[in-house]
Amino acid sequence: MAFSPLVDELVESLRCLPGVGQKTAQRMAFHLLERARSGGTRLSDALSNAMEGVRRCESCQNFSDTEVCGICENPARSNGTLCVVESPSDLLAIEQAGDYKGSYFVLMGHLSPIDGVGPEEIGIERLLRRVRSDAVTELILATNPTVEGEATAHYISDRLDGSEILITRLAHGIPVGGELGYVDGFTLTHAFRGRKPLLD
Amino acid sequence: MAFSPLVDELVESLRCLPGVGQKTAQRMAFHLLERARSGGTRLSDALSNAMEGVRRCESCQNFSDTEVCGICENPARSNGTLCVVESPSDLLAIEQAGDYKGSYFVLMGHLSPIDGVGPEEIGIERLLRRVRSDAVTELILATNPTVEGEATAHYISDRLDGSEILITRLAHGIPVGGELGYVDGFTLTHAFRGRKPLLD
Ligand SMILES: [Zn+2]
Ligand SMILES: [Zn+2]
């Protein structure tokens, strides 16, 4: 824009946000400048604090402000049950469901040899060390039900071959409240294979 | 999130962006933290610089880094033709069309008595002073074709009653490349009323 290099730079910078193109970035910039300057300043501070201050928890690899995160440090969470997820948003979804009381390990990705992502990159060695040191009795492999997620789960399971640890995978099936007509064929097949007797 | 107050604050702050709810804010925060920390830092700087540094041009009211903006200061732009728009994005759309070489005045809104927006709030007096001091010969009222935009255009036109200035309004009609079947009835009526002889 001819009228302001500062606005130009703001619009350009907003485009680093996922799903934000030129038009949306412009709309966001104008909105902040016209109506939400204090919100813009707050966002600026939050960004700089988070980009500098958020690191990986040394125990579970999840985002954390401290060396070891709040979940890992919480004595009320069982260390004997460890749930392996691909990303912080997966962890968050499980936390919001509210039922799980064990610990987590966040891979921050999945195995993807084609992209150069091997066991080292997603912290498998660290995971195995933790499994041993925490005397984990159940390892829940909650990676995504995708080709890469399944491959990652199998790799971890292979590495623990011969150990006493119970290794589980989340159940596939019809989403609660979901309509059968909208469920894909793979899920339906899994739901049929996993069918259970109706108990009174 | 139990695991990071810094991430919490980032997600909350991202929600000041228009159209960004909780889920999108989370996705944005995780994306920046996982894959785009330098982009996040750049955005933080751009935000703080723009929120502090961007003001209104004293001549046209548009966003500007300096007392008078680049367009107002450009000697190649005619001061005799002044185009009145509601917002910086309207100005930007006209600039991107690339044909207009006059000056602008940005109301930053429209008259809306119900919301307490009167002539003072959108700078009508400043506009009238500029019309006189710049010896404007044509005033293009490019406010939006909405009830409020039309009312604002009529108010300005009334205030200039008796002056020699040519006051114009943008033509309504079928968008170039638009299909007749998709054009609304009001626009079609305007297009019929404004029809012109086909010239060889
Ligand atoms: Zn942790
Ligand atoms: Zn200006």
Q: Answer yes or no: do A42 and A77 share one domain.
A: no
From A33, A69, A92, residue closest to B50, measured CB to CB:
A33
Residue whose C-alpha is closest to residue A88's, from A61, A118, A65, A125 = A61
CA angle B101, B71, B108 (to 5 degrees): 100
- B91 and B150 part of one domain: yes
Show the low-confidence residues of chain B (pLDDT under 50). Answer: none
Q: A81-127: per-residue pLDDT in tens?
A: 999 999 998 998 888 888 889 999 999 899 999 999 999 999 999 99
CATH code, domain carrying B9: 1.10.8.420
Q: Could you tell me if B98 and B14 lie in one domain? A: no
pLDDT for residue B3: 74
User: Nearest-CA residue of chain A relative to B45?
Assistant: A44
**Binned average pLDDT, 10 residues per bin, chain A of 200 residues:** 85 95 94 93 97 94 94 90 92 86 93 92 94 91 90 94 89 77 79 72
The CATH number linked to B118 is 3.40.1360.10
Residue A188 lies in a domain: no
Would B198 be classed as within a structural domain? no
pLDDT at A79: 84
Q: Report CA(A106)–ligand 1 centroid distance (Å).
A: 8
Helix (H, G, I), strand (E, B) or coil at A173: coil
Number of domains within chain B: 2
- Domain identity same for A162 and A74: yes
Residues B40 and B12 in one domain: yes
Rounded Cα distance between A153 and A102, Å, is 18
What's the pLDDT tens digit per position in A136-145?
A: 999 999 998 8
Are residue A75 and residue A9 in the same domain, yes or no? Answer: no
Domain assignment of residue B24, yes or no = yes
Does ipTM exceed 0.90? no
CB-based neighbours (< 5 A) of ligand 1, an ion? A 57, 59-60, 69, 72
Indicate whether B193 belongs to any domain: no
Chain A residues within an 8 Å CB radius of B9: 46, 49-50
Residue B17 placed within a domain: yes
**Edge-to-edge, what's the strand order for the sheet holding A103-106?**
A103-106, A81-85, A138-141, A166-169
Asked if residue B179 belongs to a domain, the reply is no
Tell me the two tokens of residue B193. 């009323």
Q: Under an 8 A CB cutoff, do A4 and B69 touch? A: yes
Which residues of chain A lie closer than 8 angstroms to B37, CB-CB?
Answer: 51
Count of residues in chain A: 200
Tell me, yes or no, whether A18 and A115 share the same domain: no
Range of the domain at A138: 63-169
